Amino acid sequence: MAPIRFENSYAALPERFYARVHPEQAPRPELIRLNEPLAARFGLDIDWLKSADGVAMLSGVRLPESSEPIAMAYAGHQFGSLVPQLGDGRAHLIGELLDRDGLRFDVHLKGSGRTPFSRRGDGKAALGPVLREYIVSEAFAALGSPGTRSLAAVLTVDVQANLRYPMGDPGAAAFWLGAASVVPGSQVVVRGKVVKLSKNIMDKNWLHIEDGSGASGANSLVVLTTDDNAAIGDVVTATGTITPDKDFGYGYKYDVIMEQADIKK
């Protein structure tokens, strides 16, 4: 039994925010480097992490029962344009941990195989970049610059029996932690077309916008409240805080809603 208990607040959000998918199985995982000071910060058992069971977790071969692995979905700018549907194509969020100060951190595997967002990629990482990420992230941490940090670097293929990557590196995975991303109250930005408008309900204007982030590029509906004005058919950019499972009463109940949005046309 793994001596780690993950929390999974992100996986409690509506499923438009992620895809449930397990890491691919590494044939013969081997620990290359373990960040012992970082492990101590989270109260993790260093000896266990170095054991066969620990390496199996660090490589994604065998995750604790408390883990709910997902690939995160998001929007972003790519090649100069806003793309409403992107996502982690070679990383899995496997849970969240609290450090000794009570701060919440996402726990990710990178190079852990294909996800629904991989497109034509194989979802893998090579050993060289994984080690460089480990070194650079620790350098930034030593300089006092906040960011993600690598807990471990793991070899994921049997280099005697498998083809190497074109660059000459065998496959590897990084097990890393970063400040928790989206939790209730987080500020987010969405862009889409207003398809429904209800004014002056509970002293707010209510907008329903289609943002194009559904499966296969289909439109998903985002509901938001705002003091600003817009018209049906307007394409707007909304910035606000998200709240899951919001129940206003009187039939106004939403899986997720953006509140106090600032609207820009």
Give the pLDDT score at 162. 45
Quote the pLDDT of residue 76.
Answer: 77
Q: Number of H helices and number of E strands within the chain?
A: 4, 14
Residue spans of alpha helices (H) in the chain: 36-41, 46-50, 52-58, 127-142
pLDDT, one tens digit for every residue, the chain (265 residues): 457 899 998 888 877 789 999 999 888 899 999 999 999 999 999 999 999 999 999 999 999 999 999 999 887 777 877 777 788 998 999 999 988 888 888 999 998 989 999 988 888 888 888 899 999 999 998 998 878 899 999 988 744 344 444 445 566 778 887 776 655 666 777 788 898 888 988 888 888 888 665 544 455 667 888 999 899 999 888 888 877 778 888 777 777 788 888 998 8
Spans of all domains in the chain: 10-179, 187-264
User: Which residues lie closer than 8 Å to 171 by C-beta, 6 or more apart?
Assistant: 26, 111, 124, 125, 126, 127, 155, 156, 157, 162, 165
pTM of the model: 0.70
CATH of 187-264, one of 3.30.70.960, 1.10.10.10, 1.10.1660.10, 2.40.50.140: 2.40.50.140
* Site of tokens 């071969």: 61
Side-chain half-sphere CA neighbours of 231 within 13 A: 1
Tokens of 93: 């969020």
For residue 88, the SS3 value is: coil
Q: Is 52 exposed, middle or buried (0-12, 13-18, 19+ CB in 10 A)?
A: exposed
Calculate ∠ Cα 26-29-32, nearest 5°: 135
How far is 92 from 13, CA to CA, in rounded Å?
A: 16
Residue from 236, 244, 243 nearest 263 by CA: 236
**Tally of CB atoms within 10 A around 85:** 19
Residue 92 in contact with residue 108, Cβ under 8 Å?
Answer: yes
What pLDDT does 21 receive?
Answer: 94
Residue 240 contacts residue 226 (beta carbons within 8 Å): yes
Calculate the alpha carbon distances from 67 to 208, 227, 259 in Å: 34, 40, 30
pLDDT at position 201, please? 84
pLDDT of residue 181: 60
**CA-CA distances (angstroms) from residue 251 to 79, 209, 241, 246?**
42, 19, 21, 11
For 190, residues 6+ apart whose C-beta sits below 8 A from its C-beta are 75, 209, 211, 213, 222, 237, 238, 258
